[in-house]
Chain A
Amino acid sequence: MAGRRQGARRDTRTAYLLLGPSLFGISAFLVLPILVVAWLALQRWDLIGPRTFVGLDNVVAVAADGRFARSLLITAVFVAIVIPAQTVLGLVAALLLNRGLRGSAAFRVLYVLPWICAPLVLGVVWRWVLAPTDGALNALIGRRVEWLADPVLALPSVAAVTVWTHVGYVALFFSAGLRAIPDTVHEAAMLDGAGAGQRFWRITLPLLRPTTFFVLVTQIIATFQVFDSVYALTPDGGPQGVTDVVAGRIYYEAFEQRAVGQAAVMALVLFVLLVVVTLVQQRWFSRRTTYDLST
């Protein structure tokens, strides 16, 4: 009896040891920053002077500042442009790559290259490509278009660069998802007389739901938090503030206006928003997803 208890205690100790690094990581890099941000949301602080406890003053100030609500709206529009485009294009790219055509491996690397490059570097390169004078794109089309300076074109242009950057990453996951679908399922469908379209809509897409769920959750979170590429392309929030996304507004409040408390409130709002969006997605997908083909 004593031996069993000792063994159990040893197991518990080993479990804590194994969990230790993860617990440390989660505490230090997730829980602690959230607590610090929540604490900062109650302070007035300009980074240089003293901190003053102001209660909910920052919340009131952010609620009264229409620019934050506008940046939320702009981010929602940005997400609505980027997510469908990069998901569909990523899926199409994955379907083409998985046909086993010659050069597919090279194309796979090529698609993923933008994703592994630093977004700020990509931003600088694309700024040159989209520049109105001496820009590569305008030289190609032979007319002057102010891609990043026109209030109508700026957000779609930034969105297009974001889609271009992430399509390879999305394709990589869809490609893995497609490979996980056994050929036997498609063969059985073909024997039953299902055409290519039917097989895609009734077999491929439903069986890709776990992958689609993962891609959508991670990409929606990343797109809501988009900052570096937008900042590199349109540093002052774009013409008439049309590219003033939420993360940019948080950066502006914290590091340019040095209103750290208000920036912390905005960061918390974004955090809560992302938790809600993720939970909704999780709920929607969990009712419609089959994870294991053997069940």
Chain B
Amino acid sequence: MRLRPLVAAAVAALALAACSPAGPDDAPSGEGATTVTVRLWDEQVAAAYEQSFDEFTRQNPDIQVQVNVVPWKDYFVRLPLDVAGGTVDDVYWLNSSNFGALADGGKLIDVGRELADEQASWVPAAVEQYSRSGTLWGVPALTDGRIAVYYNKAMVEAAGVDPDNLTWHPADPAADTFLPAARKLTRDSAGRTADQPGFDPGAITQYGFNAARDLQAIYYDFVGSNGGRIQAEDGSLAFTDPKTVEAFSYLVKLVNTDHVAPSAADTNDNPDFSRDQFLQGKMALFQSGTYNLKNVGDGATFEWGVAPLVAGPQGRVSVVSSVIAAGNADSPRRDAILKVLRWIGSEEGASYVGEEGAALPAVTAAQQAYFDYWEGQGVDTTFFGDAGGRATIPAPFGPKFEAASTAFNPILNEVFAGRTPVAEGMQQAQDAGNAALR
């Protein structure tokens, strides 16, 4: 009779154990080895990291590394929950919109102090981007390089367009070579181009360009190329800057008046729509970054090339963004984490990412392997570097930029859909974003 409560208690304890969430503490360990978990969002880089960490463990038999991939769509929703719940990984990737809050919250290892001797070997722009309150909050893992234009060779040749020399202008049609080219590259189901009479914008079968609410590939660069700003120096939003409004007006016109880009109904909620259209041979010019190079390389079944970013009145101004691998300051495996971070930031550790062509490492000495890989594939990647220009517009920054962007994105959706006038929408977006920043 006394056994029953004991059995019941044991069952309850087992049930409780089964309910507890798995965290990094549960990660499998080799005999006597410490396991460090690394979280990232990119499958291509994860595969390269597996090889890199195999070599790391060979050199450091007391540490094993487990790579965990969380899809990009869920990444920054899950991350703060896991940080709050104490189940976040030992090392995790961060972007510029999200690192500030974690740095200010004391959740990240001070890499600037702990790995000060390595700092000179990392891309300076990345070090600057992730320095806050006088310190660096992660090891620069990847840099996206500059934004460039992927083009379908057959389409540009058929239209007689030179993708290397395209310039847009918001006010002077004579200085705008881009719009006429985009119109020649856009076709309807009857084969008419967008500059021909009778062109049917309701039956487009080939788009000229991918104008859309795409922060990194499109609107930051158009705003920068027009001399506008997205954020003021204090981090507040500057959407109502006249040059910024001009750039957005030009983009919205490309979609809704010129009909050379997919409708916002297609692109607002589906960031991959334009890339998929390009890969399916239904888009001539696809402006994007190195983060799509592997996708295009693997997915395109036609001849393609890379051209420089479309130039604006202020030339070719690109946003250049990087990614860091941050260390979890609350983890008990601090020494092992620092060894892994040092490896990620070393030439040898980062070379695996470059050699596979998966992404451009932010470790300067490891970048050549990436360029060599793509040269071997017959792809000229120089326009992602200085050959595509030097001028940049600052990437998103500040501890609450992510909250601001979730506040202003629905408003920008309406602007791109053509339902909200651009100037009015920019004011609304600025107000909503700045309210979220406070």
Q: Does A131 contact B (CB under 8 A)?
A: yes
Chain A's closest residue to B19 (CB) is: A28
- Residue of B101, B107, B262 with most chain A CB atoms under a 10 A cut-off: B101
Q: How far is the CA of A24 from the CA of B263 in the complex (A)?
A: 53
Contact call B410/A241, Cβ cutoff below 8 A: yes
Of the residues B107, B268, B409, contact of A149 by C-beta under 8 Å: B268
Asked if A255 meets B414 with Cβ closer than 8 Å, knowing A24-B12, A48-B84, A149-B265, the reply is no
Partner of A47, one of B83, B266, B269: B83
Measured between beta carbons, the chain B residues less than 8 angstroms from A132 are 263, 265-266
B1-41 residues at the A interface, CB under 8 angstroms = 4-5, 8, 12
Contacts of A131 in B (CB 8 A): 266, 270
B268 engages A236 (CB within 8 Å):
yes
Main secondary structure of the interface of B (DSSP, over half): helix
Cβ contacts under 8 Å, A236 to chain B:
268-269, 409-410, 413
User: In B374-417, which residues have CB < 8 Å from any A CB?
Assistant: 402-403, 406-407, 409-410, 413-414, 417
Per the bound structure, the CA–CA distance linking A127 and B4 in Å amounts to: 53
Residues of A within 8 A of B84 (CB): 47-48
Known contacts A47-B81, A48-B101: A133-B262 contact under CB 8 Å: yes
What per-residue 1/0 map shows which CB atoms of A137-157 lie under 8 Å from chain B? Answer: 000000010101111000000
Decide: A133 near B105, CB < 8 A? Known: A237-B410, A255-B81, A257-B407: no
A240–B409 CA distance with the chains assembled, in angstroms: 11
A46 near B101 (CB under 8 angstroms)? yes
Interface residues of A in 40-99 (CB under 8 A from B): 46-49
Asked if B436 and A257 make an inter-chain contact with CB atoms under 8 angstroms apart, the answer reads yes
Bound-state CA distance A258–B413 (Å) is: 22
Least CB separation from B404: chain A residue: A257
Given known A47-B80, A48-B101, A236-B409, contact A146–B265 (CB-CB < 8 A)? yes
A20 at the interface (CB under 8 A from B): yes
- Total number of residue pairs linking A and B with CB closer than 8 Å: 75
Of the candidates A24, A47, A234, A237, the one having the most CB atoms from chain B within 10 angstroms of its own CB is A47
Q: Is there contact, CB below 8 Å, between B417 and A149?
A: yes
The one of B107, B269, B414 in contact with A48, judged by C-beta atoms closer than 8 angstroms, is B107
Knowing A48-B101, A149-B268, A235-B269, the reply to whether A256 touches B403 (Cβ < 8 A) is yes
Q: Does B134 contact A (CB under 8 A)?
A: no
Q: Across the two chains, which residue of chain A brings its CB closest to B105?
A: A48
Q: Which residues of B contact A146 (CB under 8 A)?
A: 263, 265
Separation of A258 and B107 alpha carbons in the complex (Å): 16
Knowing A234-B269, A236-B413, A241-B410 are in contact, say whether A257-B105 is a contact too (CB < 8 A).
no
* Chain A, 208-266, CB within 8 A of any chain B CB: 234-237, 239-241, 252, 255-258
B419 sits at the interface (CB 8 A)? yes
Picked from A17, A144, A257, the residue with its CB within 8 Å of the CB of B403 is A257
Cα of A258 to Cα of B78 in the assembled complex, Å: 12
Say yes or no for B202: interface residue by CB 8 A criterion. Answer: yes
A133 near B266 (CB under 8 angstroms)? yes
The answer to whether the Cβ of B171 comes within 8 Å of any Cβ in the partner chain is no
Interface bracket on A: 20 to 34
Does B114 lie at the interface of the complex (its beta carbon under 8 Å from any beta carbon of A)?
no
- Residue B104 interfacial (CB < 8 Å): yes
In the complex formed, the residue of A with least CB distance to B410 is A236
CA distance A133 to B264 in the complex (A): 11
Residue of B nearest to A51 (CB): B84
Residues of B within 8 Å of A144, CB to CB, are 202
From the candidates A47, A133, A239, A258, name the one contacting B414 in the complex (CB within 8 A).
A239
Query: In the complex, are the beta carbons of A48 and B410 less than 8 A apart?
Result: no
**Residues in B neighbouring A234, C-beta threshold 8 A:** 269
**Quick one: which of B84, B265, B268 has the most chain A CB within 10 A?**
B265
Are A17 and B5 in contact, CB atoms less than 8 angstroms apart? yes
Q: How far is the CA of A131 from the CA of B101 in the complex (A)?
A: 36
By beta carbon, the residue of chain A nearest B82 is A47
Whether B101 pairs with A255 at a CB distance below 8 angstroms is no
Q: Across the interface, name the chain A residue whose C-beta is closest to B78.
A: A255
CA distance in complex: A172, B279 (Å): 45
What sequence of 0s and 1s flags, for each residue 104-126 of chain B, a beta carbon within 8 Å of any chain A beta carbon?
Answer: 11010000000000000000000
Bound together, the chains give a CA A236 to CA B262 distance in angstroms of 19
C-alpha spacing A146/B5, complex, angstroms: 61
B47 interfacial by beta-carbon distance below 8 Å: no
**A59 CA to B305 CA in the complex, in Å?**
56
B158 within 8 A of A: no
CB–CB A239/B413 < 8 A: yes
How close is A29's CB to chain B, nearest CB, in angstroms?
9
Nearest-CB distance from A131 to chain B (Å)?
7
Distance from A65 Cβ to chain B, minimum over Cβ atoms (Å)? 11
Q: Which residues of A contact B407 (CB under 8 A)?
A: 257
Q: Give A125 Cβ to nearest chain B Cβ, in Å.
A: 14
**A133 / chain B contacts, CB cutoff of 8 Å:** 262-263, 266, 273
List 16 additional contacts besides A48-B102, A48-B105, A132-B266; criterion CB under 8 Å: A47-B81, A48-B84, A131-B266, A131-B270, A132-B263, A133-B262, A146-B265, A149-B417, A150-B265, A234-B269, A236-B269, A236-B410, A239-B414, A252-B406, A255-B77, A258-B80
Closest 4 CB pairs of A and B: A149-B265, A48-B105, A47-B80, A256-B406
